[in-house]
A and B are shown apart, each in its own frame.
Chain A
Amino acid sequence: MRQRIFVLTLLACAFIPLQAEVPSLVAIQDARIVTVSGAVIEKGTVVLKDGIIADVGPSAAVPAGAWVVDGKGLTVYPGLIDAFSTWGLPEAPVQVSAAGGRGAQASATPGQTAPPRSRGPEDRPGTNSWVMAADLVKNTERRVTLAHGGGFTTAVTFPRQGLVGGHGAVVNLGGETSGAMIVEPDAGLYMSTTPSGYLGYPNSLMGVLAYFRQLWIDANYYKMAKEMYAKSPQTIPRPAYDRALEGVLSTKRVLLPAAGPVQMERMVKLGKELQTSVVLWGVTEGYRMADELKKSGTPVVLNVKWPTRERDRDPDLIDTMKVLEHRDKAPTAPIVLAKAGVKFAVSSDGLDAPKDILKALKKSIDMGLPKEAAIRALTLSAAEIYGVDQRMGSIDKGKMANLVVVKGDLFDERLTIAMIFVDGVKYLPPPDPPQTPGGNAGGNRPSTVDQEEN
């Protein structure tokens, strides 16, 4: 008996080494607190208990037995959220049938290498609507800890293969198990309008949009058939289970791409047709669309990888005015959107290091973006877009204990993160990755260099 207790204790220790380090009761005392939801508390205390913010305020009491962090010189922010990410997902593309398919039986069978070319909407091309990021996220994935280096505690991460990539999930970047990381298993359905490129139908934007319409028509018909069958299974034939349509029906919102005003208008219209709420991703020409976005009430996730001159390019090629204008104005998108009152969050899409998101926003701040707006985009706005603002996005009593504690300011030239808390668990930022010339840590993307450096 005694021996058994000993074994159990050992097991418990083995499973929760992180919590063994830090008690479940933490108080950060005398720190500057940027609550986001309210005014900045110049000197106050945050109390974390069992992964939840138990108290916050200038005069919040430090409970007995708490692990106290001296907050002098430190600023506490809500944990940052990458609102359109792939962090936590395996970096190699998820193996799903490229042709998509109807029903569970259509999944890629082992040994079958080249999927047949799709010839029409009936083949459900590039449709992986049943794929759930929540099922694929791994707590051991490389970028989960790397993200801490940029102050990120949360990512809204999407499987992105095909035209309908699958359901994204709101994921906390750290957890005992992979499952423990999931905050919200359905953040929305990732969609792309870029055809695969000569791999079958659809091979044009026209075809893609027609396909989306058909997919939704099929899904609504399927829903109706199922409802009728449920009422009278004795008289109506049973409709075949279709995982692609189940995936479409179960989504709360769709994430549609829009670079500029034309795509934006098109996607907002599509969202109305499909009778689903829309979040636009990309929005690289956000500086040109503020009024229209405000009018349509569509939230956006900005790609903050500002365009730069390619390092490897023909020295005799002169950039066109159009390219130069875009390069010049792209970083003003957050300013313009904030001024117009458009709800926007930001994404790591295309950036190599998590810190680069902050650097990109710093550029916008230098051009006139209020710092509060930048922080809101990184926190509460993202939480609101995905409907998790009751649980995260600001430093308020009762919210998840996701915090980033910084020496000085989040947008300081050299960001120094003291610690971060994910679900109340303390993590130290990983050491900076060695700087490779060209900063091409992200794989085979073309290396870039800032315009000013040339």
Chain B
Amino acid sequence: MRSRGLLGIILAASVYAGANDTMLIRNATVHPVSGPKQENVSVLVVDGKIAEVGAKIATKGKIKIVEGKGLHVYPGMIDSGSPVGMSEISSVRETTDTGELGDFNPQLRALIAVNPESEHIPVVRANGITSVMVLPGSMGGRGGGGGSIISGQVSMIHLDGWTWEEMEIKRDAALQLVWPAIASRGRGATDDDLPPALAARRMTFAQAKRNQEEEVRKLKEFVEAARRYQKAKAGKEPGLKPDLKFEAMLPVLDGKRPIMVLASREREIREAVDWAERERLKIVLANVREPGKMTEELARKKIPVILGSPFTTPIDDDAAYDEPFTLAALLNKAGVKIAFASFGTQFARNLPYEAGQSVAFGLPYDEALKSVTLNAAEIWGVADQYGSIEPGKWADLVVTDGDLLEVKTNVKMMFIKGAPVDLESKHTKLYKKYLARP
């Protein structure tokens, strides 16, 4: 009793309030990402923010010490697109909040639908991912119905918090748009491969093209209508009825908020880029898989690209087996800023390996590390607060026993805004359970 009182006095006497989000990580290898790695240095975190990084840090009074000997400190990783928190089991409709109907839903906010109790969150976190761009809509596959063109506002969240309010980093970080693609028929497959009932339902190319052109026309009309609304509002037009859809479009029209455009292949990318240029809109391309001849143009126009998982087969049968593995290196070499996303829930935890695999196939290591941290923060407009280990930024930190992008590495500790985060997940619970099986 007495000693506890004494401890209280000592803490009170120190400059640091003794809160959960203040500490000194000592003698670790720090990877600031914004600069070269520093060995045997310490990181001082005060009130959740990084105060200092250096070999000798003078602390004022008592402070929580985290021993970092033999460990590495990285900024927390950012997954640039995932339905984590929005979708629990994709095939169970009741657990999925990404399927709103209608072509244009810019007024929808992913943030308010995030379920902080999602089982996916601790699993993703356990591999060093502290933040996610939560997608309000599905990944596309449009053409003939299903899914929206504008699905809503993508929100950046922390993977920790009791409520979605606590998880918020940036509620309207981007607008999600699925660029309409011409969906005639699959590659390789012929009508002979299908039962007659399905073969008959297939669209001709001409028909699919007409459908796609119709969708693009609708999109143009919607933006046009939003501009009229913007003008009317600026002109304080009497009797203007507030419209949530158009209100949500205003920051986009001003170019203040980027549009995350999902477009996989050269044709869709070209159309989206041309459209954005005509409309003077700021875009970030996402789920790019075959940029083809558009690569140089993306670099020239400084349009960032969000890549999905390279752990997939190429779209074309005859493409090189490593086409998805080398895509990141190819874009980086051309000068395109890249970031990685999982675009999924159950494999979001593999984000560091997406970057790691790309290193094995030509992406410079430093760039790979940036693509899951600082590049993402820059692309989504939060680089002043996140993405690297620099004084003044929030202390979203991952402490590991090795290279962050390496599969064999274990995440030992995680801090979000300086506060320690539980690394238990369904996986670790099951691991322990079955380890103890008699």
Contact = CB atoms under 8 A, between A and B. Distances in A.
A-B pairs, 7 with minimum CB distance: A197-B195, A197-B197, A320-B317, A312-B204, A312-B205, A314-B205, A321-B318
A4 interface: no
B333 interface: no
A316 interface: yes
B245 interface: no
Given A198-B195, A321-B317, A312 B206 contact: yes
A318 B316 contact: yes
B182 A314 contact: yes
A317 B290 CA distance: 12
B237 interface: no
B197 A446 contact: no
A80 B162 CA distance: 82
* Interface size range on A against B: 10 to 19
B267 A316 contact: yes
Interface of A: 194-199, 259, 312-314, 316-318, 320-323, 446
B199 to A, nearest CB: 8
A196 B184 contact: no
A314 B208 CA distance: 9
16 contacts: A194-B195, A196-B195, A196-B196, A197-B198, A198-B195, A198-B197, A312-B205, A312-B206, A314-B208, A316-B266, A317-B187, A318-B318, A320-B187, A320-B316, A446-B191, A446-B204
Contacts of B182: 314
B188 interface: yes
A313 B192 contact: no
A194 B198 CA distance: 12
B197 A199 contact: yes
Interface string B363-396: 0000000000000000000000000000000000
A196 B195 CA distance: 6
B168 to A, nearest CB: 41
Given A194-B196, A321-B318, 14 more contacts: A195-B195, A196-B196, A197-B195, A197-B198, A199-B197, A259-B192, A312-B204, A313-B205, A314-B184, A314-B208, A316-B265, A320-B188, A320-B318, A446-B204
Nearest to A204: B195
Contacts of B197: 196-199
A313 B196 CA distance: 20
Interface residues of B, number: 22
B196 A322 contact: no
Interface in B255-277: 265-267
A261 to B, nearest CB: 16
Contacts of A194: 195-196
Contacts of A259: 192
Contacts of B318: 318, 320-321
A316 B271 CA distance: 14
A321 B316 CA distance: 10
A88 to B, nearest CB: 23
A321 B319 CA distance: 10
A6 to B, nearest CB: 57
Interface in B273-289: none
A190 to B, nearest CB: 16
A194 B204 CA distance: 23
A252 to B, nearest CB: 28
Nearest to A316: B267
Nearest to A315: B205
A322 B317 contact: yes
A194 B197 CA distance: 11
Nearest to A324: B318
B294 to A, nearest CB: 13
B181 to A, nearest CB: 10
Contacts of B188: 320, 322-323
B31 to A, nearest CB: 42
A413 to B, nearest CB: 30
A323 B189 CA distance: 10
A48 B216 CA distance: 70
Contacts of A199: 197
Contacts of B265: 316
Nearest to B192: A259
Interface string B171-209: 000000000001011011001101111100000111010
Contacts of A312: 204-206
B271 to A, nearest CB: 12
Contacts of B184: 313-314
B263 to A, nearest CB: 14
Contacts of B191: 446
Contacts of A318: 316, 318
Nearest to B184: A314
Contacts of A317: 187
Contacts of A446: 191, 204
